Structure 1
Amino acid sequence: MEIAFMLQIWNAGAAIAVILCFILSIAAVKWLLSSYRPIKGLPPGSMGWPLLGETIQFLEPHSATTRGSFMDNHIKRYGNIFKSCLFGHPTIVSADPEFNKFILMNEDKLFQCSYPSNISAILGKWSLLVLVAEEHKRMRSIAVNFLSIPKLRDFFLPDIERHVLLTLGTWKEGQVISAHNESKKFTFNLIAKQIMSFNPGETRTTELMNDYLTFMKGVIAPPLNIPGTAYYRALQSRSKILETVKRVLKERSQQSKGTYNDLLESVTRSGNLSTEQILDVVLNMIFGGYETSTVALTLALKFLADAPAVVEELRVEHEAIRASFTSDRRLTWEDYKKMSFTHCVGAARS
């Protein structure tokens, strides 16, 4: 009887497995038919492997000063506009500047911005990368208002100078440093200060940075929400970051308004956002500012190291401004506006 019962269980399990395989096979065939069905007017290209497409090749690491082997090989083979399959979706990839400008100029008219569902899950439904139309404009205006000229003049500039001096103070004569690592620490410390008034060296600043770096690794990872994967760890880190922001919000609810001059204070004071929206705004401001600023700063240092004549002209300009300083004088907005050559270098770098 016991053997017969076990055989019945095994037969039932085998039947379920067969049914599941059948269902998965039908789903795979439907996906293949929808993805590979010829559509007139599409540019040339390759759809890659079933389900995976060409995602693995697309995500291969490459130098920040190149487009990467995926783009170079496809452009050489198919031209500046080609079809592919990325992140499980049929995709048209454009490396044509004029066409890209046309798309951006006609956003919400002829084109609508969208991202795979895994991006929404990890960045939040109120992310600027996910929102469209009026909701996107409303959330974007929050970031724009925070970066106003008075804010840049009265708070950002002094903080930038303070963080630069703090970073330079940790360098020793003859020490070999990593420009990228130093750029990452400088950028994150500055962002943490401007967004939540976290100071460099504080335990919570270090913890926030570690959580964020884990989070970033999952943003561009395959969306496999399985323990041990980069995507799973990123979702866990996202939860930890949001818990940190919630704790700060709770602490500030017991303090008088106007105590801080950071983004969190700004969005809280407006009173127009829910807690969920505030959390997504904070996370996305870190996301939007950290990677772009870190890469730009690192590349600026790299290119300046290759251009000694430019470095010399920068030195002359800054020494002239510095000549009027007293021992305790700091940079002012007027000093910043005098840096005409520096602005040209910054524009060229961008």
Structure 2
Amino acid sequence: MLVGPWFHFIFKFRPNLLNFTELPTLTIMELHINSIDFSSLSLLLLLVFSAIYFLREKHEKRKSRPNLPPGSMGWPFIGETFELLKRHPSFSIGRYLQDHIHRYGKIFKSNIFGGPTIVSTDARFNRFVMQNHGRLFETSYPESVEGILGEWSVLTLTGELHKEMRSIAVKFLSNDLRTRFLPDIERHTLLIINAWKDGSFLSATEQAKKFTFHMMVKQILGLEPGQPQTEKIKKEYTTFMPGVVSMPLKLPGTPYSKALKSRSVIFSEIERMVDSLRKEMRQGEIKERNDLLCWCLTELELSKGKMFDLLLGMLFGGFETTSVALSLAFFFIGRCPRAFQELRNEHLGIARKKAERGETTLTWDDYKQMEFTECVVKETLRLGNVIKFTHRKAIEDVHYQGYDIPRDWKVLLVLSAIHLDGSIHNDPQEFNPWRWQNMSSSTVDFMAFGGGNKLCAGAELAKLELAVFLHHCVLNYRWELCKNDQPLAYPYVVFEDGLPIQVFKINNN
């Protein structure tokens, strides 16, 4: 401790002095004081530099730590998944989202479906994610979805593979809407409606499913209602949706295991159809067909796996969403007599003009005149929320308005929250088709069909199906809701009692 002051003293005062006892008394005292000052200063400097280093390290760590949105991660592994999936009316966002938006804001962190997740109920952020699909984000559905729909499904694919498969779907669904799909939609509509009896009680959900399933198997597989293959596929297909939204447990009796088994049965059935078609093609006996299966075999070069997943994914998307949307239309119109009457007046006008021209079937020009019908369809999709949310994942670190989204974190885009946001839609929980008469839908305020390059390939077909069915329905029948059955999000939309209605024949003479 005295080494520093001792050499300082020798150098400054007496270079040749070696005997410490010969130092004057005052000098010894100065030496002692200097030694204390120097050691205290050394300690002080050490503490200062240590504090600076500690604060610098803490600052660097803070800089490298992502600034995540606020939120709660819930229980280990399962997180807050069950809270999110609790049943609630599909025209509400549910207690979980209400509480979290109130507590944390429109963007918050959570643990959903077994992984850290950014949950967004913000319209602009949802649009940002959708527009940057493939660049900053990619599709990331739960394992159960890919397990059932397949690795080549348009719904789950990303990148170039998604572009390839989606382009096939878009080309098939967009071509010949006027000349091929429209007549077929009308024919299947009349098959359903003409079987109704005045005053009979029906399940609106069952009627909607029957219509859309028969439409899709005809367009995708070339099968007609009543054929053994049609009924077999329909029976197996009923397990799909419960399996898709379940835990991917391959245990006997679980929804996921049942859906996988049904997928295998349907695959075998389609394989037999493919073998039969190829045999007919070799023998030159194939009849003129324009379904997707035949198109895949004659125009496309797809592997068996790709073709099967394409067919299954198209059947899934076209059947589930459209049948639910049609059920919702029955529900909302049944509770709004004013909407029913205006809808009927529009279609009576179209029917009168057709009669004057001597026409009996709908044309594309007729469809384009269904302006209020389009408003009803949009409002049904907005308020009913067929698709509650969609799944994405950050493929690199993303910074958005002060928040960091780490790479590999999932992003859950809640579409229903946009549709039910009072700052976007006035009286959002009211069925009001007239709101769309002076309002053009955009990807900010209307996301029923998704957005960006993941926009639903069958959006226009779905709207056409709903419009044609409603045309013939309101011209010939009115209906009353028989029970207080309402659409529940679980997370897909269901009517627990099948939406029972009573239909009454309208005399148009």
Taking structure 1 as the reference length, the TM-score comes to 0.83
State whether residues 216 and 315 of structure 2, in contact with CA within 8 Å, keep that contact through their aligned partners in structure 1: yes
Q: 1:343 aligns with which of 374, 394, 397?
A: 374
1:245 and 2:274 aligned: no
> Which amino acid in the other structure matches residue 315 of structure 1?
R
State whether residues 144 and 243 of structure 2, in contact with CA within 8 Å, keep that contact through their aligned partners in structure 1: no
Distance 1:258 1:347, change over 3 A: farther
Distance 1:206 1:77, change over 3 A: farther
Q: 2:297 aligns with which of 265, 268, 278?
A: 268
1:278 and 2:320 aligned: no
For residue 118 of structure 2, give the secondary structure of its aligned residue in structure 1: strand
Q: 2:249 aligns with which of 219, 224, 233?
A: 224
Q: 2:144 aligns with which of 91, 107, 118?
A: 118
**Aligned match of 1:54:** 80
State whether residues 84 and 91 of structure 1, in contact with CA within 8 Å, keep that contact through their aligned partners in structure 2: yes
Structure 1 CA distance for aligned equivalents of residues 81 and 319 of structure 2? 24
Structure 1 CA distance for aligned equivalents of residues 232 and 97 of structure 2? 36
- Taking the TM superposition and a 5 Å limit, the aligned residue runs for 1:40-119 are 40-119=66-145
Structure 2 CA distance for aligned equivalents of residues 136 and 84 of structure 1? 28
CA shift digits 1:178-225 (9 cap, x unpaired): 222211121111111111122122232222112111122110001111
**Aligned match of 2:224:** 199
For residue 255 of structure 1, give the secondary structure of its aligned residue in structure 2: helix
Q: Give the helix-richer structure, 1 or 2.
A: 1
1:319 and 2:348 aligned: yes
**Aligned match of 1:139:** 165
State whether residues 196 and 262 of structure 1, in contact with CA within 8 Å, keep that contact through their aligned partners in structure 2: yes
Structure 2 CA distance for aligned equivalents of residues 119 and 313 of structure 1? 40
State whether residues 52 and 86 of structure 1, in contact with CA within 8 Å, keep that contact through their aligned partners in structure 2: yes
For residue 117 of structure 2, give the secondary structure of its aligned residue in structure 1: strand
1:234, distance to aligned residue in structure 2 (A)? 0.9
Deviates more, 1:49-58 or 1:165-174: 49-58
Structure 2 CA distance for aligned equivalents of residues 80 and 258 of structure 1? 55
> Which amino acid in the other structure matches residue 248 of structure 1?
M
**Aligned match of 1:157:** 182
Unaligned runs of 5+ in 1: 1-37
Unaligned runs of 5+ in 2: 1-63, 382-509
State whether residues 114 and 129 of structure 1, in contact with CA within 8 Å, keep that contact through their aligned partners in structure 2: no
Structure 1 CA distance for aligned equivalents of residues 148 and 289 of structure 2? 28
Distance 1:268 1:66, change over 3 A: farther
**Aligned match of 2:458:** none
For residue 46 of structure 1, give the secondary structure of its aligned residue in structure 2: coil
**Aligned match of 1:35:** none
CA shift digits 1:13-32 (9 cap, x unpaired): xxxxxxxxxxxxxxxxxxxx
Structure 1 CA distance for aligned equivalents of residues 231 and 143 of structure 2? 30
CA shift digits 1:95-127 (9 cap, x unpaired): 111100000011111222222333222221111
1:329, distance to aligned residue in structure 2 (A)? 2.0
Q: Give the strand-richer structure, 1 or 2.
A: 2
CA shift digits 1:255-292 (9 cap, x unpaired): 23563111111222223211110000011001111221
State whether residues 144 and 246 of structure 2, in contact with CA within 8 Å, keep that contact through their aligned partners in structure 1: no
Size of the alignment, in residue pairs?
Answer: 312
1:305 and 2:308 aligned: no
Structure 2 CA distance for aligned equivalents of residues 202 and 72 of structure 1? 47
State whether residues 296 and 307 of structure 2, in contact with CA within 8 Å, keep that contact through their aligned partners in structure 1: yes
1:327, distance to aligned residue in structure 2 (A)? 8.2
1:189 and 2:218 aligned: no
> Which amino acid in the other structure matches residue 322 of structure 2?
S
State whether residues 120 and 127 of structure 1, in contact with CA within 8 Å, keep that contact through their aligned partners in structure 2: yes
> Which amino acid in the other structure matches residue 176 of structure 1?
F
Structure 2 CA distance for aligned equivalents of residues 302 and 39 of structure 1? 49
For residue 108 of structure 1, give the secondary structure of its aligned residue in structure 2: coil
Distance 1:184 1:225, change over 3 A: same
Distance 1:62 1:248, change over 3 A: farther
For residue 260 of structure 1, give the secondary structure of its aligned residue in structure 2: coil
Percent of aligned pairs with the same residue? 46
**Aligned match of 2:320:** 291
Return the structure number with greater relative CO, CA threshold 8 A, min gap 6: 2
State whether residues 110 and 116 of structure 2, in contact with CA within 8 Å, keep that contact through their aligned partners in structure 1: yes
Structure 2 CA distance for aligned equivalents of residues 179 and 339 of structure 1? 22
> Which amino acid in the other structure matches residue 185 of structure 1?
K
Deviates more, 1:339-348 or 1:103-112: 339-348
State whether residues 143 and 248 of structure 2, in contact with CA within 8 Å, keep that contact through their aligned partners in structure 1: no
Distance 1:124 1:286, change over 3 A: same
1:328, distance to aligned residue in structure 2 (A)? 7.7
**Aligned match of 1:332:** 363
Deviates more, 1:114-123 or 1:221-230: 114-123
State whether residues 84 and 90 of structure 1, in contact with CA within 8 Å, keep that contact through their aligned partners in structure 2: yes
For the aligned residue pairs, the C-alpha RMSD in angstroms reads 2.1
Structure 1 CA distance for aligned equivalents of residues 332 and 144 of structure 2? 35
Structure 1 CA distance for aligned equivalents of residues 220 and 327 of structure 2? 22
Structure 2 CA distance for aligned equivalents of residues 213 and 81 of structure 1? 35
Distance 1:189 1:96, change over 3 A: same
Structure 2 CA distance for aligned equivalents of residues 208 and 128 of structure 1? 20
- Taking the TM superposition and a 5 Å limit, the aligned residue runs for 1:167-182 are 167-182=192-207
Structure 2 CA distance for aligned equivalents of residues 116 and 214 of structure 1? 17
State whether residues 113 and 130 of structure 1, in contact with CA within 8 Å, keep that contact through their aligned partners in structure 2: yes
Distance 1:118 1:311, change over 3 A: closer
Deviates more, 1:173-182 or 1:255-264: 255-264
